[in-house]
Chains A and B, each alone.
Chain A
Amino acid sequence: MTRGAMPGDRAFSAGTANALELRGVTKTFGALSALVDVTITIGPGEKRAVLGSNGAGKTTLFNCITGDFLPSAGAIRFFGEDITSAPAHERIRRGLRRTYQISLLFAGLSVIDNVYLACKGVARGRFSLLRPSRREAVMESAEELVRTVRLEDSRDVKVSDLSYGQQRQLEIAMALSGAPRFILFDEPAAGLSPGERQDLVGILKGLPSHMGYIIIEHDMDVALQVSESVTMMHNGRIFKEGKPAEIEDDEEVQELYLGGGNA
């Protein structure tokens, strides 16, 4: 459990593990530094928003956590285990999920089929030629997730016929499948109408309290409503951390964020 843990470092012991810990994570692409010495600690069940203008390093941060990129320096721990260089699918098996800005859904299948596939990926009987019954455990959890993201009316609609907002909701359902322990939401509100944004806030607030997440969001309003703590990033560095209310009132943050021109 604690292989690679530094002796004497109490924060890295498994028993009281934080959900996610980043220590001095740095990522460079040639001469460009996308992340510089990022240290973040997220406790169990904590909901964190990461804010920052375009190019602040938010998506690179996600890619390092999910294993799409390996960090150039630093360490990442997930519930106490060192996952700094673990392959992506290994992280998924440990309960890490993410949503993507671009849709990666199965366009030719219906809503329920998409969620069912996502739930079935870590279950038995993936090669079965028999149709699942409505009472199969995996099917029940898929139905539950469809209700969670409020798509029950579109249960049998093909993904390619869904509206953009519905596709984003489905994306969340996919990320929630297979008992995740921690989720990374990459700009879930982008492209949504005001009404759909309120639905999204409702969905995120309805998640169980033990399920922590990080949400990257441009819409401050959404981000501050669904988070318990906020990290501001600027030019690949941590700029400020605090409670939503503190961040909202911080003049420096206001200036930087609104002055970034991308809010």
Chain B
Amino acid sequence: MRVNPAYWVAGAVLLILPAFASDFVLYQLFGWTFILGMIALSLMFLAGYGGMVSLAQMTVAGVAGYMVAIFGESAITDISQGWPWYVSIPLALLIAALFATATGWLADRTEGIYTIMITLAIAAAFFYFFNQNYVIFNGFSGFNGVLPPELFGVNWRDPIAFYYLTLFWAAAWYFGAIYVSRSPFGLALQGIRDNPRRMAALGYHVTAHKVAAYAVAAFPAAVGGILLTWQSAQISPGTAGIGPAIDILIVAVIGGIGHPVGAFIGAFIYVILKTFAIDLIVFVGLGSERFRLLIGLGFLAVVFWSPDGVLGLWEKLKRSRGLNPLLRKAGRRP
């Protein structure tokens, strides 16, 4: 199989980045990009391949983060069980997957556009539940002091180690999503997206496939949630609130939900904006809190003018330049 040279360039740059980038860039910018990208990838998998826009993927990430804090170690010793990582992490992934499966089953009880509403309601319910419940979730303040295990004697919160850790998982899920997209399961999911009735007529159990997709998509989100918890060493209801849930949708849509790479492009744009736009806004003379306005307007612009996100813009550009005759031919369609 011929590999696109862009992969080699991007891979090489990402691998040697720690040689010249600062800790801030590695830990904050790229660590966060990879984490957000993983969670957005989970949404992209459901929305892009399955046609199911779930706003509960951030909640899946949050559940995994909470479970690691509860079963593993944190500063809240009354609640945290302090079990070893090889118990707490698989358990966290399992519970997150079960949660996602239940969410998928509920969201698929009705058709089409209801999914987004039901998953939003589920995300909100769990945000309030985390907030109200002190026995298990420690209420408003959540858990702090949630640290990664010192596996192989490495401090995984060291910027370079954390960078490679998140890069590894981002790459793993990225290539995993591409691989699965051509498996019978992934193909069936795309078939369901294009024509559920025909799929049922061909003998597929459409509901079972959709619910299974939620279970599969839970894993990148759950790993992202655990890494996010380790990055800031804490998790609280705000981590998986309604705002972050919608931000994941924004990330996925800005990048483009047609291809897994869109999730990471969107995440990078979001992180850059969130980190540097504040300076720009202040420079223009507005208060730094106008960040949401900027994100909202940017999101609106993308949805209005390029529903396929940045990836869509890229395709348009390629078409107009005629770099790809095949795409150019297809370009006659609106």
Contacts and interface: CB of A to CB of B under 8 A. Distances in A.
Nearest to A108: B194
Interface string B52-85: 0000000000000000000000000000000000
Interface residues of A, number: 31
Contact of A105 (B187, B195, B204, B326): B195
Interface in B175-206: 179-180, 182-188, 190-191, 193-195, 197-204
Given A120-B188, A127-B212, A106 B203 contact: no
Interface string B293-331: 000000000000000000000000000000000100110
A106 B194 contact: yes
B183 A132 contact: yes
Contacts of B180: 129
Interface residues of B, number: 30
Interface stretch (A11-19, A48-56, A75-83, A110-118): A110-118
A107 B330 CA distance: 13
B281 interface: no
B83 to A, nearest CB: 29
Given A109-B194, A129-B216, A88 B183 contact: no
Contacts of B202: 92, 117-118, 121-122, 178
Interface in A69-95: 88-89, 92-93
B209 interface: yes
A104 interface: yes
Interface in A120-136: 120-122, 125-132
B43 to A, nearest CB: 18
- Which DSSP category, helix, strand, loop or mixed, fits chain A's interface? loop
B2 interface: no
B181 to A, nearest CB: 9
B333 interface: yes
Contacts, number: 84
A157 B326 CA distance: 9
A126 B185 contact: yes
B194 A125 contact: no
B52 to A, nearest CB: 15
Contact of B203 (A104, A105, A121): A121
Interface string B264-299: 000000000000000000000000000000000000
Nearest to B204: A121
Given A92-B201, A160-B330, A132 B184 contact: yes
A126 B204 contact: yes
A178 B203 CA distance: 10
A106 B198 CA distance: 9
Given A89-B201, A92-B203, A131-B182, A116 B187 contact: yes
27 contacts: A89-B201, A92-B201, A92-B202, A105-B194, A105-B195, A106-B191, A108-B194, A109-B190, A109-B191, A113-B187, A116-B187, A117-B187, A117-B199, A121-B203, A126-B209, A127-B185, A128-B185, A129-B180, A129-B183, A129-B186, A129-B216, A131-B182, A157-B326, A158-B330, A160-B330, A161-B330, A178-B202
Given A92-B202, A109-B187, A122-B202, 4 more contacts: A109-B190, A113-B187, A129-B180, A130-B183
Interface of A: 88-89, 92-93, 104-109, 113-114, 116-118, 120-122, 125-132, 157-158, 160-161, 178
